[in-house]
Amino acid sequence: MTVKTNYQVNFLNGSPRGKGSNSRLLIEYFNTGYEQVQKEKVSEHYLKGMSTEEQRRIFSESDSLIVVFPLYTDAMPGSVKVFFENLAQLAGSNPNLRLGFILHSGFPEGHHSVYLAQYLEKLTRRLGCHYLGTVIKGGTEGIQIMPDWFKKKLMSRFNELGKHFAYTGGFDKKIMNELRNPYQMSVSQLAFFKFMKFIKVGDFYWNSQLKKNGAYENRWARPYSSSLH
């Protein structure tokens, strides 16, 4: 049975990569589950290139807004911070808005993101909105080149997250806890990553990115180092 609502639900993709981002993939996995219930997808909007007026319009017209973005050096992309600052004058203007976040990172451990999640909860209160929570997922860097069988569990959990949201208008706490694991790596997991580093398996992805951007030959450059000793 299809669950019908009158709510306007929107995704806001805050990744600087825009349509080429891992954030877009996570939204896609979420929407796969959501669409099975609602028979339509949550609208996705891209913060990249969006005007201040459009940002404020989406905030004002949404009943539920989910902001999705990656962790950047233990914080947030500058464009996301500017977006939040642009909302300051709208504080209290949409008190029924249900505001949630999906925060992901290349770090395998969930604990890297918890401090920013605390900020997002405080931000929501300051904007006068209802806080839906912050979904935390580590280890997302490189998912674009992973085969589906390798990320089957990730896709399944976001599918279920989308289904639950379609039925209830909120995030499933159990799935949220599963997604943030490992919160901290175990001794055996640390040993595995050290071994992978030793055999330089992890260099494959980063070297491919350097070559793609024509920077491989300059990978040892030190543009900010001083020539004085």
The model's pLDDT over 56-73, given as tens digits with 9 standing for 90+, comes to 999 999 999 999 999 987
> Residues in the chain with pLDDT < 70?
1-6, 225-229
Residues 11 and 19: beta-carbon distance below 8 Å:
no
**pLDDT at residue 57, rounded to an integer:** 96
For tokens 């669409």, name the residue. 35
Q: How far is CA 149 from the centre of its chain?
A: 21
**pLDDT at residue 225, rounded to an integer:** 62
CA distances from 184 to 23, 141, 193, 200, 214 (A): 23, 17, 13, 23, 35
**pLDDT at residue 31, rounded to an integer:** 97
User: Where in the chain are the domains?
Assistant: 9-179, 187-218
CA distances from 157 to 27, 53, 63, 71, 92 (A): 12, 34, 24, 20, 33
Architecture of domain 9-179: 3-Layer(aba) Sandwich (3.40)
Residues 100 and 131: beta-carbon distance below 8 Å:
yes
Cis peptide before 70 (omega within 30 of 0): no
**pLDDT at residue 145, rounded to an integer:** 84
Residue 65: helix, strand or coil by DSSP? strand
**pLDDT at residue 17, rounded to an integer:** 92
